[in-house]
Chains A and B, each alone.
Chain A
Amino acid sequence: MTAELDAPASGTTDDSDVVLEAEGVSKHFPVRRTGRDVVKRTTHHVHAVDDVSFALRRGHVTAMVGESGSGKSTVARVMAQLHRQTAGTIRLHGEPVDVRGGRRFRAYCRAVQMVFQDPFASLNPIHTVRYHLTRALRIHGNAGRTRAEREAALEDLLASVQLTPARNYLDKFPHELSGGQRQRVAIARALAADPEVLLADEPVSMLDVSIRLGVLNLLRDLKDRLRLAILYITHDIASARYFADDIQVMYAGQVVEGGDSETVTQSPAHPYTRLLVESAPDPDRLTGRTDAPEDSAQGEPPSLISPPSGCRFHPRCPFAMDRCSVASPPRLEVGDQPGHWAACWLFDTPSVEAAS
């Protein structure tokens, strides 16, 4: 990563900035077969992620927003290669990734690290902060040769997550730390590998509201300082707007809309994104008069074992046309901002004209 550090400053988003890329990635999980399935020789699958493509750029935060069960965490796990994708390609610096454990997996981990949702569960309660960080440093060969070098590395790590002075924290056990401090230790552990990509799976949703922003601001600071590419997975679209540069919206295993975060949140195009934005609490819409707009969608996300045909949102969509239940919409330009797209037939100009 040291070589690329001298790359031109942010603002340019050409292809050379792309660190990690997913192309048509799908992940299906087999469902336990019932007696009848065995006889009929069929196996059902949960289509957790279907045909997802996006790119993570250096010094850029990409948010993946969706409800629970939309497959956003599976995307992170596939990107980290904790699950192997069913179909599609993941590229690190343009090279297709093919790791099945062992040395190559470790090398991949060095570049792509994960931060998990629950710092209470992701740190081992019987080990100190020092143990957690030293182990990560050793495994990834960043511990230095002498004890002094290792200590210096530990101090640097804790300083980078704003836990100073380091000696106050190094010999503490996880239960002696507050939730925010724990999550900072988990981030420090990810940084110990000196990664280029950070996959943050709901990094603040388990923390108290008053300390969430501190952790998000820390991640942003790290992104700027270390030029990390961050995938921020969240269900909170308001925090995605605050923290991320780009937003991808997931619904039922597919990415339905993407664009820069201001555009997606301020002028959402896909009916699902509109529903999501409308549903978010809005203090300016005061006291109880929560009259949802007439055309707002009802119902619940579909089963992913047998997802709906065509567009997966069509059973709930107030704008559904005949075409929606037949054919799955491709990414279509919305046209208001460059790079803003939605997978919705409403933005296919000929079909809209034909309908009207």
Chain B
Amino acid sequence: MSEPVLEIKNLSVDYGMGPDAVQAVRDVSLTLHRGEVLGLAGESGSGKSTLAYGMTRLLPPPGVVSGGEVVYHPQDGAPVDILGLNRPQLRKLRWSEISIVFQGAMNSLNPVHKVVTQLCDVIKAHDKRSTPASRRARAAELMKLVGINTDRLDSYPHQLSGGMRQRVMIAMALALEPSVVIMDEPTTALDVVMQRQILTQLAELRERLGFAVLFITHDLSLLVELSDRIAIMYGGRIVEEANARQLYREPLHPYSLGLLKSFPALRGERRELTGIPGSPPDLRAMPSGCAFHPRCPRAFEPCADRDPVLAAPEDKTRSVACWLHVPGAGRTAENSTSSTTARS
């Protein structure tokens, strides 16, 4: 695997301070390699967006990064800890190295400015020597890149369709050729046909420009198709991380399995699906031990007491935080495993 471009080490994010603080992200470590697509999946409230905002220091108060490190490795030069940067340094890094396509990108464009103005603004802020003509040329180039006719440059956002606005947002994120693009549910508000068009384009662009993508969504079936590796979040933690194919073929964590089983398949056999019983945990009152144990069909004796650690079960290519995959976690492990397999 290629070298890492962004390393998150033991990141924790709280909302609020003191004893009332809600831990939205707990001790998350994640590595994004150069040029790969890393999918981050989880339900609403699992902390996936908070993680993205926390690591880019975009989190509005009362969100606080309470611990950990986020290390960015530039193409040439020494690694930087993003959490330790001061304002001017951060300003320089943002967008030119790491850019974001926001959730609900349709509303992230300024309605009173033309698309071209907004695109040029980005370039102007980072490249002081650029001329208006060169900026406009670059903006036109970007629009072509994402497949929008250049005569749309002088349109206002409301004159564009949802799909086009989304493409403008992607164009804007790519304006300075960053090495990392974070996409926070970029296609959730779009129809499947438009989603497919945008994702196809994204795959092409990535092949051409070679940036790494952190793709955040709740749609696991989309991620399996799109990404190289997938990390699954639940209750502020990463519960499983694996190669996309591995995760789809043999998920280890019961939550991953439940999520995969929650999507009715369009092709293949028509099977009975159950979803996951119960509802997502309340971050203010997290269950003891493994956060998933109250909903887990395979929970056994250590689950309620002790938090499982994210670790590699047998090979080094994947990791899972579940007592089922810790050898010797309890005698009952074998029994409960065999009983569930017998039932299913």
A contact residues around B225 at 8 Å (CB): 281-283, 285-288, 290
B contact residues around A349 at 8 Å (CB): none
B220 near A286: Cβ-Cβ < 8 Å: no
> What is the number of residues of chain B that contact chain A, defined by CB distance less than 8 Å?
47
A287 near B245: Cβ-Cβ < 8 Å: yes
Contact A211:B196 (CB < 8 A) given known A68-B191, A286-B244, A300-B161: no
Checking A213, A241, A298 against B262 with a beta-carbon cut-off of 8 angstroms, the contacting residue is A213
B contact residues around A180 at 8 Å (CB): 279
A298 near B267: Cβ-Cβ < 8 Å: no
Complex: how many Å from CA A273 to CA B240? 36
Interface residues of B in 250-305 (CB under 8 A from A): 258-260, 262-268, 270, 273-277, 279-280
A209 near B196: Cβ-Cβ < 8 Å: no
Interface residues of A in 194-230 (CB under 8 A from B): 208-214, 217
Question: In angstroms, how far is the closest chain A Cβ from the Cβ of B226?
Answer: 6
B222 within 8 A of partner (CB)? yes
A contact residues around B221 at 8 Å (CB): 281-283
A contact residues around B248 at 8 Å (CB): 283, 286
A contact residues around B209 at 8 Å (CB): none
Q: How many residue pairs bridge A and B at CB < 8 Å?
A: 127
Q: Residues 281-312 of chain A: 1 if any B CB is under 8 Å from the residue's CB, otherwise 0? A: 11111111111100000101000000000000
B218 within 8 A of partner (CB)? yes
Stretch at the interface among A38-46, A76-84, A232-240, A328-336: A232-240
Interface residues of A in 242-295 (CB under 8 A from B): 242-243, 262, 265-266, 275-292
A211 near B193: Cβ-Cβ < 8 Å: no
B157 within 8 A of partner (CB)? no
A288 near B266: Cβ-Cβ < 8 Å: no
User: Considering only CB atoms, which chain A residue lies closest to B229 in the complex?
Assistant: A287
A178 within 8 A of partner (CB)? yes
Checking A208, A239, A280 against B280 with a beta-carbon cut-off of 8 angstroms, the contacting residue is A208
Checking A262, A287, A289 against B270 with a beta-carbon cut-off of 8 angstroms, the contacting residue is A262
Chain B residues with a Cβ under 8 A of chain A: 37, 43-44, 161, 163, 191-197, 199-200, 203, 206, 218-222, 224-228, 244-245, 248, 258-260, 262-268, 270, 273-277, 279-280
The 7 closest A-B pairs by CB, nearest first: A213-B275, A242-B264, A279-B196, A283-B224, A178-B279, A210-B276, A67-B191
New contact pairs (18) apart from A238-B264, A288-B226, A290-B203, CB-CB < 8 Å: A68-B191, A179-B279, A180-B279, A210-B43, A212-B262, A214-B275, A214-B277, A235-B191, A237-B192, A281-B222, A282-B266, A283-B220, A283-B225, A284-B268, A287-B245, A290-B199, A292-B200, A300-B194
